[in-house]
Amino acid sequence: MHELSLTESLVDVVEERLAGDLAGRTVVTVHLRVGREAGVMADAMAFCWDVVTAATPLAGSRLEIEETAGDELALASVELLKEESGV
Amino acid sequence: MCDTCGCGDTATIGTLTGGTVETVAVEERLLAKNDDLAAHVRASLDERGIVALNLMSSPGAGKTSLLERTIAELDASVCVIEGDQETSYDADRIRAAGARAVQVNTGAGCHLDARMVHDALHELDPLPGSLLVVENVGNLVCPALFDVGEHAKVVVISVTEGDDKPLKYPHMFAAADLVVVNKTDLLPYVDLDLDRLSAQARAVRPGVEVLPLSVRTGEGMDRWYEWIAATGSAYGGEVRDARVDTVRA
């Protein structure tokens, strides 16, 4: 199941790219694009999301997957929630 | 809660009230890190004139046997990175055949990635000009997706597996630079249609060479060594098949 290691890579990429933005914020949704020719089962990535994100800053977030043509496998964007009480 | 089975899939995020949601565009390929490391591996091999093959198949197709015979017959230095979930059986066999080998155990993992190969190379330290073979975890699915820094991907299928596998596992065969059909000595006993297998392989990878051979009897092995020598030259490697040179001279 390479989807498990790809999901772990996805969490790593989010943590690295948003390292400076995560403080005081909650990751709500992670948007991923998966091509139909990518050789990846989107459902399997969604299935293991909760387990892979547990004990990371992404715990409790949702994984939204957009199916696309071609063979891409890319992190598109991340939605972050900023608590107003924390302002 | 989801109305169908109560799994919670459609649960709304209650914490959204009282905060502002910001969308941060990231746009990064998930395999970027793996592919960058694979490119680094390939560049470091190129510097030393080492040509690397990524050998993939289902379990039992004969990858290790092919390497044992190759090590015995090819007049070149061969080094092997062995990938299996558990045991060092294959690395032991390669060492017994006379080549250097490092075993990578992936545990639950179903494939080798560039990080594993990179780390194994530090331990293996292949000689300049040698042939490096990465024997991937036996699996016709996942290894196709991961560049490990090889110059060419070789898919091995044995005649007992059936001639319909290229279309059943298209990602693997679409990635193949060479399809080796092993155990041709068993052809009289099975229903495999070599033409159908070749046609299916070329349907997903146009023009790919399909090379029937028998590791057991040696039939077809000459073409395998020619292919290795040609691939070595194509990628600037120094791997030579001395027997081919002798024939030409």
Look at B206 and A82; give whichever has higher pLDDT. Answer: B206
Calpha distance A58→A61 (Å, rounded): 6
pLDDT for position B201: 98
Kindly list the residues from chain B whose CB atom is less than 8 angstroms away from the CB atom of residue A78. Answer: 23-24, 26
Chain B residues inside the 8 Å CB shell of A2: 110-111, 141-142, 145-146
ipTM score for this prediction: 0.84
CA of B88 vs chain A CAs: smallest distance (Å): 22
Question: From chain A, which residues contact B within 8 Å (Cβ)?
Answer: 1-2, 4-6, 9-10, 12-14, 17-18, 21, 25-26, 28, 32, 38-40, 62, 72-85
Flag whether pLDDT at A87 surpasses 80: no
Residues of A whose CB is below 8 A from B110: 1-2
Is A84's CB within 8 Å of B18's CB? Answer: yes
For A2, which of B20, B27, B145 is closest by C-beta distance? B145
Torsional sign, CA A61, A36, B2, B5: negative
The tens-digit pLDDT sequence of chain B (249 residues) is: 455 565 655 444 444 556 888 999 999 999 998 999 999 999 999 999 999 999 999 999 999 999 999 999 998 899 999 999 999 999 999 999 999 999 999 998 899 999 999 999 999 999 999 999 999 999 999 999 999 999 999 999 999 999 999 999 999 999 999 999 999 999 999 999 999 999 999 999 999 999 999 999 999 999 999 999 999 988 877 665 544 444 443
Q: Give the closest-approach CA distance of B180 to chain A in angstroms.
A: 22
C-alpha distance from A53 to closest chain B C-alpha (Å):
16
pLDDT for A10-65, tens place per residue? 999 999 988 888 888 899 999 999 999 898 999 999 999 999 999 999 999 999 99
Q: Å from A81 to nearest chain B CA? A: 4
The predicted structure's pLDDT at residue B168: 96
Residues of B in contact with A73 (CB under 8 A): 29-31
CA distance between the termini of chain B: 76
Query: What pLDDT does B80 receive?
Result: 97
Nearest by CB: A10 against B22, B30, B111: B30
- Of the candidates B25, B30, B109, the beta carbon closest to that of A73 is on B30
